Amino acid sequence: MQSLVIVAHGSHLNPESSAPTYDHADTIRATGAFDEVTTGFWKEEPHFREVLRTVEGDEIYVVPLFVSEGYFTEQVIPRELRLDGWDVSEWDSDGLSADQATLVAEDIGREVHYCGPVGTHRAMTDVIVRRAESVTGDPDVGDDFGLAVVGHGTERNENSAKAIEYHADRIAERDRFDEVRALYMDEDPEVDDLPEFFESDDVVLVPLFIADGYHTQEDIPEDVGLCEDHTEGYDVPETVDGTRIWYAGAVGTEPLMADVILERAADAGADLGTALDDVRETTRVATGD
């Protein structure tokens, strides 16, 4: 019996935090690829500490819905899941290449496949592009458009910037958008000065965050100048210093994220049948309105 456990941060304050986790779990559940799909949280319930004891299967894949390798994926989650013998060297990662480690979870005395975070998977690049398609309503968006991929800088987590650069570089190599830039919230090049970094009149701004919350709904819109105060709201697109900015909100809310979760589990050995194709098909952007 094959089980998928999606682990995410969640929130004590914001009910929207867990919404993408539930949505992607539902998408994957509908494919039938797993006998059970369950969710666990740091700030909600079931907690990381107790999620595994609710799981029935004997082939268990744990996929962290986090954007980068770091404190949560390397320390908090393995500790709280009680992965026996975990050491970050199990992943043998350069900060981007964590794939999976198979360890016994002491809580249940069974092996689990502990996967790398969704945010550093190569398939995440497609989700960022898909997000740009969603927010512009144009499945072919690219010509005459710039794309800004935005995240925290290294101040909080060195690997956060690595993930942003990795995806920005991969998208740039595709020659689809006129310009692609990696921008940061707390270091240069800063997202506050977005129009200075682009020549294009239209720029899609995709924040590499899992859920909409303080950073994506208050911080970034105000820093970029989409609004004076987030409570006023803003239009999409909104013109700032002559640049039309198409603000996408958290990339993690894009339905195609379910595909990255599946890819992580597949890389760890899960048998998915046609689920990957099914998810790519069901989450496609409709042409036109």
Partner 1 sequence: MSDVTPAATDEPAVPDIDLPSDAFDAVLDALADREAGDPLRFEGFSVVRSGEDDEKDSASAEDTAGGYVLVDGDRRTGLSERELHEALAEHAPAVTDWYVFERVVGEFGPRRAFLRWLEDADGATVAARYAALAEGIERAWGELTITATVTDRGERRYDVRHADDDGVPIDELDAYDDPLDARDLVTLDEKGRYRPLKTAPSLAGGWAFPDLGPRDAYEAVETIYPATVANWHREREGELDVNHWRETMARQSGIYGVVKTWDRGEGHEHVDWVAEACCDDSQCLKRREWQYDDETDLDVDGGDGVFPCREPCSVVVSAARKWTRLESEQPRTYEFELTPSEKEQVEDIIDAVADGRIDEIREADTKEGANRYRTRFLRAKLFDDEGNLGGVPAEPEGDGEE
Name the site residues for partner 1 (rule: CB under 8 A): 11-15, 22, 26, 42-47, 49-51, 53-54, 56, 71, 75-76, 79, 107
Residue closer to partner 1, measured from CB, 26 or 84:
26
| Nearest approach, Cβ of residue 51 and partner 1 (Å) | 7
Whose Cβ is closer to partner 1: residue 51's or residue 226's?
A: 51
Find the shortest distance in angstroms from Cβ 85 to partner 1. Answer: 17
Nearer to partner 1, 110 or 280 (CB): 110
CA distance 209 to 150: 9
State the minimum distance, in angstroms, from the CB of residue 238 to partner 1. Answer: 28
Q: How many H helices and E strands in the chain? A: 9, 10
List phi, psi (to 5°) of 146. -100, 160
Q: Mind giving me the DSSP string for 153-174?
A: -TTT-HHHHHHHHHHHHHHHHT
Instruction: Please state the closest distance from residue 80 (CB atom) to partner 1, in A.
Output: 8
Determine the residue type at 13.
Answer: L
Structure tokens at 74: 């390397």
The dihedral built from the CA positions of residue 58, 44, 216 and 97, taken in this order, carries a sign that is negative
**Closer CB to partner 1, 107 or 263, in the complex:** 107
Asked if 94 and 166 count as a contact pair (C-beta separation under 8 A), the reply is no
φ, ψ for residue 56, nearest 5 deg = -95, -30
Q: How far is the CB of 28 from partner 1 (least distance, A)?
A: 13
Residue 272 contacts residue 29 (beta carbons within 8 Å): no
Nearer to partner 1, 76 or 236 (CB): 76
Rg (CA), the chain: 19
CB of 123 to partner 1, least distance (A): 25
Nearer to partner 1, 44 or 138 (CB): 44
